[in-house]
Amino acid sequence: MNSEILPRYTHWINGTATEWDGEFLPVMNPATGETMSTVAKGTAEVVDTAVQAARHAFENPKWQRMTGNQRGKLLIKLALLIEQHSKTLATMETQNVGKVLWGTTAEIKDSVELLEYYAGAAATFTGETKPLPSHLGITLHQPVGVCALIVPWNYPLMLAIWKLAPALAAGNAVVLKPSELTPITAFALAELAKEAGFPDGILNIVNGVGSEVGQALLEHPKVDKVSFTGGTQTGKIVMATCAKTLKRLTLELGGKSAAIVFEDADYDAALAGTLFGIYYSAGQSCEARSRILVHKSFYDQFVADFADKAKKIVVGDPMAKGTQMGSLISLQRLEVVNGYVEQGVQEGATLVCGGKRLMEGELAKGAFYAPTLLSNVKNSMTVAQEEIFGPVAVAIPFETEEEAVAIANDSRYGLAGTVWTTNGARALRVTAALKTGLVGVNTIMTGQTGMPFGGWKESGFGRELALETLKHYTEPKSIEWYYGTKPLNPFGL
């Protein structure tokens, strides 16, 4: 792999970077405001070429005959190569996304672990047998075919691997579409997959704008399955488009997750956890605990202590040691985040801290926004209902356990939540009552390898990170094999 950051990214089709004489888009470093590279603005034609390459590679008998163990071995080799290049990959990701280096380093470590997990799963994933009257029932889980993997900008490499690892473990071929804002590490991934020994055409990348290149993938008749991570609004377009050809579909969408801090919580742990739960990745995380529900008995104290700590978060150069929060993905996003904060104040919330772009010294060049807390928030306010996707927490008071659960569930989203309590029975009651795909008890570290990750309601459907994910990338086939002594002749003819 070339460890220099490549100046231009085209497409990766059939094991090689393609020539591109079409348009290029700028790729920014959001922390410095500099253009760091350019990326090809693909078209429906390039999508067709990539899908045809994937189809061809998928149907190649060599790939078809490969055992789960053999595919697992390739995934292990890829994991080792990513581990070897982790420093370079983390640097590329930080420079392109603006998030802190220790964060991208941890994401790459988790990605390596996930590849190893699916390497093992590829070797052990099998169908079932079922004895039936005079028949033996056998199920096969066969690869779906060509999978379009569409990922957003907030965890570009990690989310690509969340999809790619199970898709390849199950024996599919893929076409990956990164966000036009963050195409860089995907290319490195493709180079490493080639070095690991994946056949040409099994992993392809198309770059460009989502509404053009992404849409062309959704409409392509030879794409069998779409796995999409992104906003709920886009997810609805994806679903409607996939319905036209009944493509298999996984949707990982937005969230507005609640952290509930009960009166019996470990106060310091809850404070530290709720702080990290929203400001990690500058709040640009689907499972960010952006609504903080605090028991009335200590609401004011908690809000004051939270704001005190939020003001101390070190915001700045994401490459520098000691930085705790980097930049947002772009100035456009920063404007959206700031607009939400202003709307919250107009609707009656109190701005306790933050609420502004940071402009001191070098920060003025990037998209840095202060860690923000709004208090006296009602759950009906826009800031409590809509996904802000920035470093903005809203604090909502509650009195009873029932009220806390009702507020937490009063959302069109259902991705994640955390219950802060030392009462075990309460933890069990509340985790069962929350309408979300993920719940942490005294932790915000949900989404670990092997645990099904995904949402309820408008946060999507399907699960990633787990064994059952392999089923989303395969079609089950039931075979019923007759072994009776007489031929079956129900008509008696």
State how far Cα 208 lies from the chain centre: 19
Structure token pair of residue 93: 């990701």
**Are 453 and 464 in contact, with CB atoms under 8 Å apart?**
yes
Binding segment (CB under 6 A) for ligand NAP, from list 50-58, 124-132, 206-214, 363-371: 206-214
Residue of the chain from 38, 60, 215, 443 that contacts ligand NAP (CB under 6 A): 215
**Stretch 8-47: interaction string toward ligand NAP, x if CB under 6 A:** ----------------------------------------
Structure token pair of residue 131: 């004895």
**Residue nearer to ligand NAP on the CB measure, 115 or 307:** 115
**Residue nearer to ligand NAP on the CB measure, 107 or 401:** 107
**Stretch 353-392: interaction string toward ligand NAP, x if CB under 6 A:** ----------------------------------x-x---
Q: Which amino acid is located at 355 in the chain?
A: G
Residue of the chain from 39, 40, 114, 150 that contacts ligand NAP (CB under 6 A): 150
**Least distance (Å) from ligand NAP to the CB of residue 431?**
19
Instruction: Please state, in angstroms and as integers, the Cα–Cα distance from residue 320 to each residue in 34, 110, 323, following that order.
Output: 17, 22, 6
Active-site residue, from 147, 242, 286, 353: 286
3-state percent breakdown (helix, strand, coil) of the chain, nearest 5: 40, 20, 35
- Residue 263, φ and ψ in degrees, nearest 5: -65, -20
Active site residue 286: yes
Q: Where are the alpha helices (DSSP H) in 184-328?
A: 184-196, 215-219, 232-243, 267-279, 299-312
| 227 membership: H or E segment, kind and range | strand 225-229
Query: Which distant-in-sequence residues (6+ apart) come within 8 Å of 278 by Cβ?
Result: 288, 289, 290, 292, 391, 392, 393
**Residue nearer to ligand NAP on the CB measure, 238 or 278:** 238
Binding segment (CB under 6 A) for ligand NAP, from list 15-23, 36-44, 223-231, 417-425: 223-231
Under the binding rule (CB under 6 A), the answer on residue 277 touching ligand NAP is no
**Residue nearer to ligand NAP on the CB measure, 29 or 421:** 29
- Give the SS3 label for residue 317: coil
**Residue nearer to ligand NAP on the CB measure, 49 or 154:** 154
Return the residues of window 179-198 that contact ligand NAP according to CB under 6 A.
179-181
Q: Which amino acid is located at 8 in the chain?
A: R
| Residue owning tokens 């993997």 | 149
CA atoms within 13 A on the CB side of 173: 28
Under the binding rule (CB under 6 A), the answer on residue 218 touching ligand NAP is yes
Return the residues of window 286-315 that contact ligand NAP according to CB under 6 A.
286
Interface residue list for ligand NAP (CB under 6 A): 150-154, 177, 179-181, 209-211, 214-215, 218, 229-231, 234, 237-238, 252-255, 286, 387, 389, 415, 455, 460
